[in-house]
Amino acid sequence: MTEYYNKYIKYKNKYLSLKSQIGSAALEPIEKKVFIFISNTYKGTDYELQGVRIDRQNILNSLNIKNDYREVFSDSNFNFKFREKNDFNIIFISNCNKDRTIDYLESISTKYNPYSIVLCLSGHGGNASGLINFFSNDFERINLSEIIEAIDNPNLKNITAFLDMCRTGEDRDPFNASNLVNSIENKRVAVITAGARTFSVTEDDINGGKLIKSLCNVLTEDKIYASLLSMKKMLKFIIDVTMEKLKMHIKDLEIWKQIIKNRNLPRYKELYNRICRKLPSLYFNNDTRQVIEERGALEAFRILFNALCKQYNEDGMLSYAAGSTLPTRFK
């Protein structure tokens, strides 16, 4: 007993000495900025998504990661440290079942003490209470509320999620809605989803998801790092990504403005509805909406929502969308 007690006193004194020299703050975990990319290919099934591999390679290219694709996207390597920045990590979770996905996310929360997170999902999904369901590689439903609860910790303040998946079906579960709302309390959260069927086995499978491609057209190491540091810069980043997605479906924005203005006329109505279904949806919680107003960005987002066939106040509130199994309005 004396031997163990002496060791305890030794290490305690060593800790106190170090604390007095460098300060207690230096001994605390570093507040991480984390970029998480979760993707599933569903290989060997009738619903395999070959385009997810394109998404993965586009992410690597945009972030200038030179590692071989097979080195990064393997089932045994979910944690990839990028550029050795002590406060910034990029993490890939690939082809995992639900339990493993949640376990990895919980370990990220514990190990990295994240302050700000960008979350990207590529795979199958569906409309659900709690905003959306993502399907694991074994086709288990993972609600967005479960993902956010898994990565949550007291230090986490900013969450931005880009969700490139199908938006079909309706999965009703009021607990998912309440869990999502409760888990994002006192956080600034923004969620960007793809259109109705922008990514599925029947559309755009070979070329990858259009939302991820739009993200990659904007994404660089410096931009994402700066955005993780500042919610104001993150909002600008979100606008840039959304405009890239918009331009994939609309070649002339001035003509699109005229179509929106005259959308109730018979000659424009069908075209307007068809394009609207392909456009992304944006959702913000109250804390993020407050930042939008304080930073003078409200009018810019009103205009952006109008271009996406939506209204900022009616269609952009995350808490309202979480309670619906059809949170996206297409017309």
pLDDT one-digit tens code per residue, 82-95:
555 678 989 999 99
Q: What whole-number distance in Å separates Cα of residue 12 and Cα of residue 288? A: 43
Set out the domains of the chain in order of their start, with CATH numbers: 30-249+280-322 (3.40.50.1460)
Report whether pLDDT(236) > 50: yes
User: Beta-strand (E) ranges in the chain?
Assistant: 33-39, 79-80, 88-94, 116-122, 125-128, 131-135, 141-143, 158-164, 188-193, 281-284
Least confident range of 71-80, 180-189, 310-319: 71-80
Q: What whole-number distance in Å separates Cα of residue 60 and Cα of residue 221? A: 10
Least confident range of 10-24, 94-108, 221-235: 10-24
> Mean pLDDT over residues 142-159, rounded?
95
> Mean pLDDT over residues 25-48, rounded?
82
- Cα 38-109-21 angle, rounded to 5 deg: 135
**pLDDT tens by residue, 6-16:** 544 544 454 45
**144: Cβ contacts below 8 Å, ≥ 6 apart:** 130, 131, 132, 133, 134, 161, 163, 176, 180, 191
Q: What whole-number distance in Å separates Cα of residue 25 and Cα of residue 93? A: 31
Q: What is the pLDDT of residue 2?
A: 55
Q: Do the Cβ atoms of 311 and 282 come closer than 8 Å? A: no
> Mean pLDDT over residues 286-314, rounded?
96
Q: What whole-number distance in Å separates Cα of residue 62 and Cα of residue 206? A: 19
pLDDT bucket at 73, cuts 50 / 70 / 90: confident
Higher pLDDT among residues 239 and 78, named by residue: 239
**For helices 221-229 and 231-249, what crossing angle results, to 10°?**
130
pLDDT bucket at 263, cuts 50 / 70 / 90: very high
Q: CA 295 → CA 242, 279, 299, 300, distances in Å? A: 19, 25, 11, 11
